């Protein structure tokens, strides 16, 4: 396969493709390959993102490209096998190499093997194009929701958790994104411990929540929540750390596959909660986009971290320690 890519995988300007193949495409640079004589009257659109980012960032990336493929009559396929992501293992998972299909069904009946024997194949860039958006919870993308089919095995795990722990209670779902969000430029600033405690206590008092389902990758948040709310806390057993090292180490079998599986199941469980309290992330975007249940959404709003990458490493720490009058985060978020 790599030899084929080396021989046939060429870069073209959009103008060249339009002239030679009469394809009307709206972005400046794509890649084109011809790998054989199959499917001469079809144009495959290979969505690739290597190394990619978080699971739902990758989903949003695919949704944006489904919009392009639909507009131009291309047949979309996701290749996270020959173009691996941060979730790929170096061996098959349940006979699968394509990391997209660890978690989601293939977009259609065409296999990568058939695509790479075909006449007309367009490859996406691995980065978001300028005109693309992360705001998918609107009518523009709703018609592509049916293309994102989560594998039944992940639904089964989330449903079992729901039936065992959540079904009989009024549950507050919470997503606390910590670790790198505290130091990332232009990202939403996560809440402090005091803000979390204040908000949750108010909601419990007003809404009489019996349980709290917590989704977080930050072990410090988990430790704090257990200490403050004790046996009210429910959580799925996932990898958490103090040091934002999830993709830097490999502490267990199938670690990278499991990182994607765990955040997917966490998110499916959040969709089943009565109210969702969250830091704005791609997880919260996906819950809004994909949930079939009517959920009350409440966002922690601490504003964005600075765009200065150096100062961004310190801004959250400084503001979390300062009183509100001196520029710190408001206690009553």
Please state the domain extents for the chain.
2-147, 152-326
95: Cα within 13 Å, side-chain hemisphere: 0
Q: Would you give per-residue pLDDT tens digits along the chain (333 residues)?
A: 555 554 444 444 433 443 344 343 334 456 888 899 999 999 999 999 999 999 999 999 999 999 999 999 999 999 999 999 999 999 999 999 999 999 999 999 999 999 999 999 999 989 998 889 999 977 889 999 999 999 999 999 999 999 999 999 999 999 999 989 999 999 999 999 999 999 999 999 999 999 999 999 999 999 999 999 999 999 999 999 998 899 999 999 999 999 999 999 999 999 999 999 999 999 999 999 999 889 999 999 999 999 999 999 999 999 999 998 888 998 777
How many distinct helices (H) and strands (E) make up the chain? Answer: 12, 10
E strands, 22-117, where?
A: 29-33, 44-47, 75-78
40, 46 contact by CB (below 8 A) = no
| Separation between Cα atoms, residue 123 and residue 77, nearest integer Å | 10
For the four alpha carbons of 212, 215, 216 and 222, in that order, the dihedral sign comes to positive
pTM score, whole prediction: 0.90
DSSP 35-48: --SBTTT--EEEE-
Q: Please state at what angle helix 282-290 crosses helix 255-270, rounded to 10 degrees.
A: 50
| Beta strand 44-47 pairing with 10-13 | unpaired
Residue closest to 258 by CA, chosen among 288, 236, 279: 236
283, 267 contact by CB (below 8 A) = yes
Residue 243 CA, distance from chain mean position? 20
| 331: DSSP letter | S
What CATH number belongs to 152-326?
3.40.50.11350
The alpha carbons of the chain give a radius of gyration, in whole angstroms, of 22
CA-to-CA dists, residue 252 to 96, 136, 198, 247, 261, angstroms: 19, 34, 36, 12, 14
């Amino acid at each position: 396969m790599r030899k084929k890519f080396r021989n046939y995988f060429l870069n073209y300007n959009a103008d060249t493709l339009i002239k030679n193949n009469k394809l009307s495409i709206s972005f400046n640079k794509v890649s084109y390959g011809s790998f054989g004589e199959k499917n001469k009257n079809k144009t495959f659109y290979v969505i690739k993102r290597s190394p990619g980012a978080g699971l739902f960032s990758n989903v949003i990336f695919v949704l944006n490209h489904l919009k392009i493929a639909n507009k131009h009559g291309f047949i979309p396929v996701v290749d996270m096998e020959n173009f691996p992501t941060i979730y790929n293992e170096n061996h098959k998972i349940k006979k699968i190499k394509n990391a997209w299909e660890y978690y989601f069904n293939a977009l259609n009946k065409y296999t990568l093997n058939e695509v790479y024997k075909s006449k007309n194949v367009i490859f996406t860039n691995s980065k978001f194009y300028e005109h693309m958006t992360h705001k998918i919870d609107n009518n523009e993308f709703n018609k592509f929701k049916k293309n994102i089919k989560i594998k039944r095995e992940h639904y089964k795990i989330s449903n079992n958790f729901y039936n065992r722990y959540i079904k009989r209670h009024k549950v507050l779902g919470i997503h606390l994104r910590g670790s790198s969000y505290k130091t990332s430029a232009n990202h939403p600033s996560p809440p402090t411990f005091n803000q979390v405690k204040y908000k949750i206590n108010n909601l419990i008092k007003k809404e009489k929540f019996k349980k709290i389902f917590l989704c977080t990758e930050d072990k410090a948040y988990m430790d704090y929540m257990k200490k403050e709310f004790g046996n009210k806390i429910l959580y799925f057993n996932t990898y958490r750390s103090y040091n934002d090292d999830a993709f830097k180490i490999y502490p267990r079998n199938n670690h990278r596959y499991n990182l994607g599986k765990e955040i997917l199941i966490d998110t499916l469980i959040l969709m089943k909660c009565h109210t969702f309290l969250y830091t704005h992330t791609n997880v919260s975007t996906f819950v809004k986009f994909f949930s079939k249940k009517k959920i009350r959404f409440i966002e922690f709003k601490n504003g964005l971290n600075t765009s200065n990458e150096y100062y961004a490493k310190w801004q959250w720490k400084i503001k979390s320690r300062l009183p509100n009058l001196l520029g710190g985060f408001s206690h009553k978020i």
